[in-house]
């Protein structure tokens, strides 16, 4: 259940906050109070009956370009509004997990913009300073989260539309790998690059939601997707010259974030990120802008009512692009992708400022296209290059929030989140199962943390689940060989045995297969019975190998066994 208690209590709190009327422009539609309370009562009853609902009673908002049951979808344009026959799968997964939709939030019309001002429903203002923009296009969703009205919100993120407003409100914006979350029921902005994103107050909260959302999209986790960042991860940062979009105070805030990352154990490496920046300009300054026209150009061409002037200009210009421009930019993007990946080869992630500035509403009004273009400097390329990203708060600039984004390869979402966790308070870090599924493996010897073969797990993206102990049914012997290692053997029924301490890791399925294929005799993988009654895959050895080898079971663990005793099995 929620921190506030029952679902009913949480809904009442959300309604009370809505009644205060702060930033009313963040909302396009709010569901009736009676409907929300009835839904909350049903969630409370389900929980009381023992139903497992991972998001029980959490209240969330939905960006109004994502279909939601019972509410029209406007995409920020009243003349475009329609009533969907069914909710988007992303919304359905969340409500099935016990979350409750409060309503639909404002956005840059048709998700075209990073400012949060391009809407006939009003310009959405930043929470900490009403003179500044909220950022877009997921403007209302970010503000609703930052005000505490909702526990999380759905946005979309094609060019930074979830990350930029998150940075401007001091919250988290999690953008999964393209295709992991279904975009069915989402009004397209640039269809090949559209992504449903999560906005939440903390990294842990964002990951909890993402874990529910993932699945049912166009892509699934591959068998070798990493489950964790490596120890002391190498993180790329841009050369100083490539931060020239930032003012002095913003540069200092970014430098401070880099130093915190280094102090947390990351190995920071300066790289040339120009291919990333060049790719960013392709999204809306080249042939790919035609995706805008493909998405809703017919509505614009027909003179659809309620269009924002800036949005109309962008879409009309996109409609005049020749087909050869799109084809040329596809080739250019492929070349830039190869260059970009080469620049960060060997690095687990790339760290960048989320935005280079935080403009005022007046500045946007004076130069709507220029300001919007600058805000995408460090975000526009992410989906073009098929990368994952998570934006987190990283300090303040001139009294307002400052944010950075950790960017990782496709399906390395877990890596990005682990590195981002190094920058947030301990209580806000991951506690959930966001990321690819793994296969459990119990280890008892040289694969333990800090021991010689542990790198075989961490290099493969394995994740430590915790310490374990076997049932008292095992013997452990010091085997010959280098490095020294134990052999674990289950005793026959009725024979005396011991409980042996070890660690439980989760491995990508492909990694477990490779580990098994390379396993030298007499080692084997088999079923290990743990003290808590679980049976998991673990390292064992063939029975003949323990004959004549020193029995070290009484030590209770390989770590507790004196070094000389370990080597007594014949290892060097």
Distance CA 16, CA 411 (A): 40
> 7-428 architecture in CATH?
Alpha-Beta Complex (3.90)
> At 484, is the secondary structure helix, strand, or coil?
coil
pLDDT tops 50 at residue 465: yes
How many CB atoms are located within 10 Å of the residue 346 CB?
8
Distance CA 27, CA 147 (A): 12
Decide if 250 contacts 412 (C-beta within 8 A): no
Domain boundaries, the chain: 7-428, 439-567
Per CATH, 7-428 and 439-567 having the same topology is answered no
Which residue is it, tokens 């048709």? Answer: 110
The catalytic residue among 134, 137, 197, 557 is 137
Residues near 543 by Cβ (< 8 Å), separated by ≥ 6? 489
Which residue is it, tokens 């500044």? Answer: 132
pLDDT value of residue 569: 63
**Residues comprising the chain, all counted:** 572
Which residue is it, tokens 């540069």? Answer: 251
Going from the C-alpha of 476 to that of each of 148, 467, 488, 512, 555, the distances in angstroms are 54, 17, 5, 23, 9
Residue ranges with strand state E in 412-534? 439-443, 463-469, 474-479, 485-490, 501-507, 523-529
The catalytic residue among 138, 161, 197, 388 is 161
pLDDT value of residue 117: 98
For residues 212-238, average pLDDT: 96
Does the annotation mark 567 as catalytic?
A: no
pLDDT value of residue 262: 97
Distance CA 412, CA 386 (A): 11
Q: Which tokens belong to 505?
A: 């890791």
pLDDT value of residue 480: 85
Backbone angles phi, psi at 481, to 5 degrees: 125, 170
Does the annotation mark 139 as catalytic?
A: no
pLDDT tops 50 at residue 571: no
How many CB atoms are located within 10 Å of the residue 69 CB?
14
How many CB atoms are located within 10 Å of the residue 9 CB?
15
User: Is the sign of the CA dihedral 52, 467, 530, 522 positive or negative?
Assistant: positive
pLDDT value of residue 255: 98
Q: Kindly report, residue by residue over 151-164, the tens digit of the pLDDT.
A: 999 999 999 999 99
Determine if the peptide bond prior to 522 is cis (ω within 30°).
yes
| Confidence band, pLDDT 50/70/90 cuts, at residue 572 | very low
- For domain 439-567, say whether CATH 3.40.50.10860 is its number: no
How open is the CA angle 157-388-340, to the nearest 5 degrees?
A: 110
Q: Which tokens belong to 495?
A: 């024979």
For residues 541-566, average pLDDT: 90
For residues 398-425, average pLDDT: 97
For residues 238-246, average pLDDT: 96
The DSSP symbol for 177 reads P
Going from the C-alpha of 33 to that of each of 1, 30, 39, the distances in angstroms are 20, 9, 10
Residue whose C-alpha is closest to residue 202's, from 390, 437, 330: 390
Quote the pTM value. 0.94
pLDDT value of residue 484: 86
Q: Kindly report, residue by residue over 77-119, the tens digit of the pLDDT.
A: 999 999 999 999 999 999 999 999 999 999 999 999 999 999 9
pLDDT value of residue 291: 92
pLDDT tops 90 at residue 178: yes
> At 123, is the secondary structure helix, strand, or coil?
coil
Does the annotation mark 557 as catalytic?
A: no
Mean pLDDT, the chain, whole residue set: 95
Q: Kindly report, residue by residue over 281-326, the tens digit of the pLDDT.
A: 998 888 999 999 999 899 999 988 889 999 999 999 999 999 999 9
pLDDT tops 60 at residue 247: yes
Residue whose C-alpha is closest to residue 76's, from 65, 67, 84: 65
Going from the C-alpha of 492 to that of each of 121, 459, 499, 542, the distances in angstroms are 73, 36, 14, 14
Q: Which tokens belong to 118?
A: 């391009």
- In the chain, what's the furthest Cα-to-Cα distance? 88
pLDDT value of residue 431: 62
Q: Kindly report, residue by residue over 20-74, the tens digit of the pLDDT.
A: 999 999 999 999 999 999 999 999 999 999 999 999 999 999 999 999 999 999 9
| Confidence band, pLDDT 50/70/90 cuts, at residue 382 | very high
How many CB atoms are located within 10 Å of the residue 248 CB?
8
Among the residue ranges 64-68, 318-322, 384-388, 529-533, the one predicted with the least confidence is: 318-322
Residues near 81 by Cβ (< 8 Å), separated by ≥ 6? 72, 73, 74
């Amino acid at each position: 259940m929620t921190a506030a208690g029952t679902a009913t209590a949480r809904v009442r709190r959300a309604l009370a906050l809505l009644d205060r009327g702060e930033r009313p422009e963040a909302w396009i539609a709010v569901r009736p109070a009676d409907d929300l309370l009835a839904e909350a009562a049903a969630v409370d009853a389900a929980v009381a009956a023992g139903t497992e609902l991972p998001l029980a009673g959490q209240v969330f908002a939905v960006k109004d370009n994502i279909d939601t049951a019972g509410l029209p979808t406007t995409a920020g344009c009243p003349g475009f509004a329609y009533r969907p026959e069914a909710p988007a799968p992303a919304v359905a997964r969340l409500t099935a997990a016990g979350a409750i939709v409060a309503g639909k939030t404002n956005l840059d019309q048709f998700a075209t913009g990073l400012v949060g001002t391009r809407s006939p429903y009003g310009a959405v203002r930043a929470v900490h300073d009403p003179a500044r923009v909220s950022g877009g296009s997921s403007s209302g969703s970010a503000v609703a989260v930052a005000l505490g009205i909702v526990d999380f919100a759905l946005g979309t993120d094609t060019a930074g539309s979830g990350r930029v407003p998150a940075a401007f409100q001091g919250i988290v914006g999690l953008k999964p790998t393209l295709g992991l979350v279904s975009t069915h029921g989402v009004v397209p902005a640039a269809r090949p690059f559209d992504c449903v994103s999560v906005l939440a107050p903390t990294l842990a909260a964002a990951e909890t939601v993402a874990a529910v959302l993932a699945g049912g999209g166009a892509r699934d986790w591959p068998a070798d997707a990493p489950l964790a960042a490596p120890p002391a991860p190498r993180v790329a940062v841009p050369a100083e010259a490539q931060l020239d979009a930032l003012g002095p105070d913003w540069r200092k805030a970014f430098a401070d974030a880099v130093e915190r990352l280094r102090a947390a154990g990351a190995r920071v490496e300066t790289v040339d990120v120009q291919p990333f920046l060049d790719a960013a300009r392709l999204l809306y300054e080249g042939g790919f802008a035609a995706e805008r026209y493909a998405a809703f150009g017919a509505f614009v061409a027909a003179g659809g009512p309620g269009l924002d002037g800036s949005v109309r200009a962008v879409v009309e210009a996109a409609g005049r692009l020749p087909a050869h421009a799109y084809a040329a930019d596809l080739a250019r993007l492929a070349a830039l992708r190869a260059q970009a990946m080469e620049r960060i080869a060997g690095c687990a992630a790339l760290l960048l400022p989320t935005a280079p500035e935080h403009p005022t509403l007046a500045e946007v009004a004076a130069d709507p296209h220029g300001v919007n273009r600058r805000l995408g400097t460090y975000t526009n390329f992410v989906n073009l290059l098929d990368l994952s990203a998570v934006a987190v708060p990283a300090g303040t600039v001139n009294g307002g929030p400052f944010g950075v984004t950790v960017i990782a390869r496709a399906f390395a979402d877990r890596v990005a989140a682990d590195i981002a966790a190094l920058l947030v308070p301990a209580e806000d870090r991951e506690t959930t199962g966001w990321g690819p599924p793994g296969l459990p493996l119990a280890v008892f010897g040289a694969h333990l943390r800090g021991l010689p073969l542990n790198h075989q797990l961490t290099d493969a993206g394995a994740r430590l689940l915790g310490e374990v102990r076997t049932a008292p049914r095992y013997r452990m012997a010091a085997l010959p060989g280098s490095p020294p290692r134990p052999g674990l053997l289950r005793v026959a029924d009725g024979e005396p045995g011991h409980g042996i301490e070890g660690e439980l890791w989760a491995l990508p399925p492909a990694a477990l297969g490779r580990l098994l294929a390379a396993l030298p005799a007499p080692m084997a993988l088999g079923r290990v019975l743990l003290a808590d009654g679980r049976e998991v895959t673990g390292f064992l050895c063939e029975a003949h190998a323990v004959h004549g080898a020193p029995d070290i079971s009484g030590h209770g663990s390989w770590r507790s066994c004196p070094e000389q005793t370990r080597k007594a099995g014949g290892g060097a």
